[in-house]
Amino acid sequence: MLRVMAALIQELMAGQTRALARALTLAENGDAQLLAELDAHNATAPQPRRIGVTGPPGAGKSTLVSALVKHLRINGATRVGVVAVDPSSPFGGGALLGDRLRMSEHALDPGVFVRSMAARGHFGGLAAGCEDTCELLALAGYDPVIVETVGVGQSEVEIAGVADTTVVVLTPSAGDSVQALKAGIMEIADVVLINKADKPGADRLAEDVKEGLELRAHPPAGQPMWQPPILQAVATTGQGIDALAQALQSHATFMADHKLLAATRRKRAQARLLDLAAAALSQALQGPGALGDRFAQLRAQVEQGQIAPRAAVALLLQTLGK
Ligand SMILES: Nc1nc2c(ncn2[C@@H]2O[C@H](COP(=O)(O)OP(=O)(O)OP(=O)(O)O)[C@@H](O)[C@H]2O)c(=O)[nH]1
Ligand SMILES: [Mg+2]
């Protein structure tokens, strides 16, 4: 079976789109052999740039990503990958119709691959699943990989963690800025893009965002500080996309100049370790084996009121410590 997976990885690395699609589905279903094979290759593979695009529903993220993809393709990117993540949708594997439609201008371009992901499944959580998807696209030679995430909230912030550079998209519509500031998404922004600048209120929003960014935590003394640019765009016409591409390049250069990319990726690996360990532990607690047995025993005691949940956890940790 492992040989089958090795062959599949070879095929996707050779540029076979069908092999890539199949591997992505296997990864989403948590196929241990495929994932082991992926890890083995990943250890040595070069990691392409990852761009996160995030913001409230309907802000124009997909339209923007589509325009950016077009720009990148015209300017020399041979393969651009897009992962559209919707934490609120239970459907995946390309069921997000809106994204499909808005990306359809690239449907005939073999240099563009679009994958949709949803909340369902994903051992270790959606962020961990998204990481696997990005890594498979990387192995298949897609560079950069762009991750679009819908929503404002914790899941969005977590998924933003898979990117090297995060673009926060806002619109002049009422409430966006307030919401963004509240949900702490200013903290994750490397570039703030005010889309729908054809509508009134874009300048006003830019002012609010500027104030919001000034409240951001500063890095430890002596460490360089990146100032997120605040851009305006009209994704539907392509206005402002050049400036966005330039800002992305500037951020990449800043990261490289100050050797921040490796640190960012190490931090990402740590977060991933925690996600995967927590999921594995949870699985072990409910499965067969010594840990599962001990947990079942303690659960029975809690059920019968012989012991309090917190005390049971203390005992469980003792078991683990041995
Ligand atoms: N007026 C105007 N409309 C825009 C602009 N960009 C996108 N839209 C429209 O806004 C709507 C939503 O665009 P999408 O690209 O699907 O937005 P999204 O953020 O990806 O949406 P979700 O993925 O559902 O959160 C569409 O009708 C777009 O045509 C813009 O710059 N100006
Ligand atoms: Mg979208």
Condensed to tens digits (0 to 9), the pLDDT of residues 232-277 reads: 999 999 999 999 999 999 999 999 999 888 888 888 888 889 888 9
What pLDDT does residue 193 have?
Answer: 96
What pLDDT does residue 13 have?
Answer: 95
Burial track 275-298 (b if 16+ CB lie within 10 A, e otherwise): beeebeeeeebeeeeebeebbeeb
Burial track 214-250 (b if 16+ CB lie within 10 A, e otherwise): eeeeeeeeeeeeeebbbbbbbbeebebbeebeebbee
Q: What is the CA radius of gyration of the chain?
A: 22
Q: Is 50 exceeded by the pLDDT of residue 95?
A: no
Q: Minimum mean pLDDT among 73-87, 101-115, 183-197: which range?
A: 101-115
Taking the CA of 55 as reference, the closest ligand is: 1
Distance, CA of 248 to CA of 164 (rounded, Å):
10
Tell me, in angstroms, the distance from the centre of ligand 2 to residue 59's CA.
8
Q: Which pTM does this prediction carry?
A: 0.88
Taking CA atoms only, the protein residue closest to ligand 1 atom 30 is 196
Q: Is ligand 1 within 6 A of the CB of residue 98?
A: yes
Q: Is 60 exceeded by the pLDDT of residue 98?
A: no
What is 46-258's CATH topology?
A: Rossmann fold (3.40.50)
Q: Minimum mean pLDDT among 14-18, 149-153, 205-209, 235-239: which range?
A: 149-153
Q: Is ligand 1 within 6 A of the CB of residue 145?
A: no
Q: Given pLDDT bands bounded at 50, 70 and 90, which one contains residue 183?
A: low
Q: Is 50 exceeded by the pLDDT of residue 125?
A: yes
Tell me, in angstroms, the distance from the centre of ligand 2 to residue 62's CA.
4
Q: Atom of ligand 1 at shortest distance to CA of 234? A: 31
Q: Is ligand 1 within 6 A of the CB of residue 234?
A: yes
Q: Given pLDDT bands bounded at 50, 70 and 90, which one contains residue 89?
A: low
Taking CA atoms only, the protein residue closest to ligand 1 atom 9 is 60
Tell me, in angstroms, the distance from the centre of ligand 2 to residue 285's CA.
37
Tell me, in angstroms, the distance from the centre of ligand 2 to residue 211's CA.
27
Q: Is ligand 1 within 6 A of the CB of residue 196?
A: yes
Q: Quick one: CA dihedral 90, 95, 98, 99, positive or negative?
A: positive
What are the two backbone dihedrals, phi and then psi, of residue 189, each rounded to the nearest 5 degrees? -80, 125
Q: Atom of ligand 1 at shortest distance to CA of 65? A: 15
Q: Is 70 exceeded by the pLDDT of residue 96?
A: no
Q: Is 90 exceeded by the pLDDT of residue 220?
A: no
Q: Is ligand 1 within 6 A of the CB of residue 59?
A: yes
Distance, CA of 230 to CA of 241 (rounded, Å):
13
Q: Is ligand 1 within 6 A of the CB of residue 171?
A: no
Q: Is 90 exceeded by the pLDDT of residue 10?
A: yes
Tell me, in angstroms, the distance from the centre of ligand 2 to residue 26's CA.
24
Q: Atom of ligand 1 at shortest distance to CA of 55? A: 19
What are the two backbone dihedrals, phi and then psi, of residue 132, each rounded to the nearest 5 degrees? -60, -45
Domain boundaries, the chain: 1-43, 46-258, 272-321
Q: Is ligand 1 within 6 A of the CB of residue 191?
A: no
